[in-house]
Amino acid sequence: MDPLALARWQFGITTVYHFFMVPLTIGLSMMVAWFHTRWYRHRDEADLRLTKFFGKLFLINFAMGVVTGIVQEFQFGMGWADYSRFVGDVFGAPLAMEALVAFFLESTFLGLWIFGWGRIPEKLHLATIWAAAIGTWLSAYFIIAANSWMQHPVGATYNPETGRAEMTDIWAVLTNVTTLAAYPHVIAASVMTAGLFVAGIAAWYLIRRDPGDPDRRGMRYAMRFGLWLTLAASAVVIISGDEQARIMFDQQPMKMAAAEALCETEEGAGFSVFAVGNVDAECDVRSLVIPGLTSFLADRDFNATIPGVLDLQEEYSELYGEGDYRPNLIVTYWSFRAMMGFGFFGMGVAVVSLWLTRKGRALPTGRWMTPLTVFTMLTPFLGNAFGWIFTEMGRQPWVVAPNLDGDLKIALLTENAVSPSLSTTEVAISLFGFAAVYGILAVVEIFLLTRYVQAGPDSTMFALPVDHPWGDSDRDDDSGHDDHDRDDHDGDTPPDRGSPTDADDEQFAFAY
């Protein structure tokens, strides 16, 4: 295997693994902020327990996301030096904004939230988790903007003296139409991921815990909230996905044709639900075709003409020179269907679960429920991973796809992006090294998540009592709610507990 193939495997493994963490972090940040807000407003112990329980799971996942994200930075420099050199002037700007603005906002306020329990006024403390969540969503925007530029380069020109793409308009990069279509799709898919994650864990609790368990009421709320959120996010995923398909037809028709394994140009092209046979070698293996649907998705016209892979290959050879401009049809065709299949499965489970638990009805407790719950929690992660694979593999053989309406010299083939000095041995060593490290990290994360899930909310509640007395003064003035839990003191000084002690500090630190 040559260095290019190994470098591509390395990029794929590290990126897909990192992307398991990202959607959950994005979606869960807002859900934890919502639980915290409910506790601030209503003083319901169930909301506090949900906040701290899912907050801990969020922090574990966030930490793993940061660690695996750092590896991405190393990987660009190690394996893709020519790529970094070519796109650095453009690609670096949104990444720098992500680090200096979004990640700074995210990490700083997350730290304040972690260690701010009981140390800062409650309203300010509540604001910190919302600021961290906003930073998380903002971070996703800059990353999507950087990736979208590779899909559709705008706001830049090619400098023949340096051989690099150079930015001319940062605003054009940040408002790239590809970004504006991809961002809501990614965010909605992330919310869907977190919704099913929370609903699945809550359902698991409701199945396993006794009827008298104090957390059942809160978990039932979390389950139904997660399911409703999943359903709402699914609608956005479908709408934004439809918009992305239309844009993809304009910007990357080869990716559209590959997604359908559409070898010949067709008028009124149908949508293939599945295929029997090798879509990479034959053109007539598409099965259960819905007539005209692909044409409608691409051009809002059931009779629109969709160019096929073979015709586009001939066209690109004339435009860009001799070469193979077809992506791997097997990967693009099946990853596209896997993405949609897992997404629709999660949406279907949400609909059925909400129906079964309507008007206070209990969740079914059959033996099949536990494995179904676990599998359902995994489906959005798999859907996101296959969506990411489709997005990146469908662009091949380009790492920077040419924009027919922009500077045609801003384009880079993947084979020209890899570091020229890399040897097969060097890439193989780093590939197996990253795979080993990521394998260890996967074991650690699964161990930590399952440990705290099994321990339940009790494992996170010892650090902060429900009648937590500090920092409540601002609520009296602004919220207007009854502080029934603080009748015995004025909210500034806890008469029974005294000031926070070193032991309290240790408890707060250990709790997070």
| Cα–Cα nearest to 387, from 237, 165, 217 | 237
Burial string for 478-492 (b: 16+ CB within 10 Å, else e) reads ebeeeeeebeeeebe
Instruction: Give the DSSP H/E element, type plus range, for residue 165.
Output: strand 164-167
Are the C-beta atoms of 157 and 168 separated by less than 8 Å?
yes
Beta-bridge mates of residue 272? 289
| Cα–Cα nearest to 351, from 175, 213, 231 | 231
Residue 482: what pLDDT?
41
Residue 278: what pLDDT?
79
Residue 208: what pLDDT?
83
Residue 78: what pLDDT?
81
Cβ neighbours around 411 below 10 Å, total: 19
Residue-wise pLDDT for 365-398, tens only, equals 778 888 888 899 999 999 999 999 999 999 999 9
Torsion angles phi and psi, residue 386, rounded to 5? -70, -35
Residue 495: what pLDDT?
38
- CA contacts within 13 A on the Cβ side of 426: 11
Residue 370: what pLDDT?
82
The gap from C-alpha 409 to its chain's centroid, in whole angstroms, comes to 32
Structure tokens at 345: 């499965």
Structure tokens at 368: 């099949």
Question: Rounded distance, CA 510 to CA 512, Å?
Answer: 5
Are the C-beta atoms of 283 and 261 separated by less than 8 Å?
yes
Instruction: Give the DSSP H/E element, type plus range, for residue 107.
Output: helix 104-115
Residue 469: what pLDDT?
42
Integer angstrom CA distances of residue 161 from 157, 166, 293, 417, 442:
12, 11, 47, 18, 45
Residue-wise pLDDT for 66-124, tens only, equals 888 887 777 877 888 999 899 988 988 888 888 888 888 888 999 999 999 988 999 99
Instruction: Give the DSSP H/E element, type plus range, for residue 383.
Output: helix 369-393
**Confidence (pTM):** 0.86
Question: Rounded distance, CA 422 to CA 48, Å?
Answer: 53
CA angle 309, 314, 318 (to 5 degrees): 140
Residue-wise pLDDT for 260-282, tens only, equals 888 889 898 888 888 887 787 66
Residue 461: what pLDDT?
53
Q: Which residues of the chain have pLDDT under 70?
A: 281-284, 459-512
